[in-house]
Structure 1
Amino acid sequence: MVSNASDHRRPRIGITTYLEPTVWGVWQREAALLPRVYLDAVAKAGGVPILLPPVGTDPSVLDILDGLVIAGGCDVDPATYDAAPHPETVDTRPGRDAHEVVLIRAALEADLPLLAICRGLQVLNVALGGTLHQHLPDLITSDEHRPSPAVFGRTEVKVEPGSLTERLLGDRSSVHCYHHQALDAIAPALTVTARAGDGTVEAAEVDGHAFALGVQWHPEENPEDLRLFTALIDASRRQQS
Structure 2
Amino acid sequence: MTRPVIGIIGNSYELEDRYPVHAGGTMNSEAVAAVAGCIPFIVPSDPRFVSVKELLDTCDGFLLTGGRPNVHPEEYGETPTEAHGAFDRARDAITLPLVRACVERGQPFFGICRGFQEVNVALGGTLHPEIRDLPGRDNHRMPPDGTLEECFALRHHVTFTEGGVFHRLIGAQEVLTNTLHGQGVVRPGRDIVIDGHAPDGTPEAIYVRGAPGFTLSVQWHPEWNATRDPVSRPLFEAFGDAARAWATGEAPPVLRSA
CA distance in 2 between partners of 1:137 and 1:100 (Å): 26
The answer as to 2:29 corresponding to 1:34 is no
TM-score (norm 1): 0.90
Q: Could you tell me which residue of structure 1 aligns to residue 200 of structure 2?
A: 198
- Which deviates more from structure 2 when the two are superposed, residues 123-132 or residues 93-102? 93-102
Q: Could you tell me which residue of structure 1 aligns to residue 97 of structure 2?
A: 102
Partner residue of 1:48 out of 39, 42, 51: 39
Q: CA deviation at 1:149?
A: 2.4
Q: Could you tell me which residue of structure 2 aligns to residue 15 of structure 1?
A: 8
Aligned pairs for 1:1-241 within 5 A? 8-23=1-16, 28-45=18-35, 46-55=37-46, 56-60=49-53, 61-73=55-67, 74-140=69-135, 143-149=138-144, 151-152=151-152, 154-169=155-170, 170-209=172-211, 210-223=213-226, 224-225=228-229, 226-241=233-248
Q: CA deviation at 1:140?
A: 4.4
CA distance in 1 between partners of 2:106 and 2:119 (Å): 14
Q: 1:176 to 1:198 in 2, by over 3 A?
A: same
CA distance in 2 between partners of 1:183 and 1:44 (Å): 31
CA contact (8 A) 1:130 1:185 kept: yes
* RMSD, aligned CA: 1.7
Which is strand-richer, 1 or 2? 1
| Structure 2, gaps ≥5 residues long | 146-150, 249-258
CA distance in 1 between partners of 2:57 and 2:168 (Å): 28
CA distance in 1 between partners of 2:136 and 2:25 (Å): 30
TM-score (norm 2): 0.84
CA contact (8 A) 1:168 1:227 kept: yes
CA contact (8 A) 2:142 2:179 kept: no
Corresponding pairs, count: 231
CA distance in 2 between partners of 1:217 and 1:68 (Å): 17
Deviations 1:174-219 (A, max 9, x none): 1111001000001121010000010000011011124111100000
- The residue type equivalent to 1:182 in the other structure is G
CA contact (8 A) 1:146 1:152 kept: no
CA contact (8 A) 1:158 1:171 kept: yes
CA distance in 2 between partners of 1:59 and 1:98 (Å): 9
- Which deviates more from structure 2 when the two are superposed, residues 50-59 or residues 36-45? 50-59
Identity %: 35
CA distance in 1 between partners of 2:214 and 2:163 (Å): 14
Q: 1:13 to 1:86 in 2, by over 3 A?
A: same
Q: 1:189 to 1:93 in 2, by over 3 A?
A: same
Deviations 1:160-179 (A, max 9, x none): 12322112222111111100
CA contact (8 A) 1:156 1:174 kept: yes
CA distance in 2 between partners of 1:51 and 1:174 (Å): 29
- Which deviates more from structure 2 when the two are superposed, residues 142-151 or residues 176-185? 142-151
Q: CA deviation at 1:64?
A: 2.3
Secondary structure of the corresponding residue to residue 97 of structure 2:
helix
- The residue type equivalent to 2:114 in the other structure is R
Q: Could you tell me which residue of structure 2 aligns to residue 3 of structure 1?
A: none
- The residue type equivalent to 2:29 in the other structure is L
CA distance in 2 between partners of 1:29 and 1:163 (Å): 45
